[in-house]
Amino acid sequence: MSEHVYKMIELTGSSTQSSDDAVRVALTKAAKTLRNMHWFEVLETRGHIEEGKVLHWQVTLKVGLRLED
């Protein structure tokens, strides 16, 4: 069995649709330039409110990247 080492980074994604979509936005964008993303953890969820309605969601993630051998 191979032993793995991970680097952790933080990303923040936003969406007008939902907090789940904000996660997808962050990971999709990061996948364009990062390799070996293996897991994520939601650290914070925030939103912008205007006139009593949520205008957009913002989610901060911790992402684990497996380092290459």
Hey, where are the domains in the chain?
6-66
Q: Which CATH number does the domain 6-66 belong to among 3.30.1660.10, 3.40.640.10, 3.20.19.10, 3.30.1360.70?
A: 3.30.1660.10
Residue 41 structure tokens:
């953890």
Specify the pLDDT at position 52: 96
Amino acid letter at 57? Answer: W
Task: Tell me the pLDDT tens digit for each residue of 2-48.
Answer: 788 999 999 999 999 999 999 999 999 999 999 999 999 999 999 99
The model's confidence at residue 1, banded by pLDDT at 50, 70 and 90, is very low
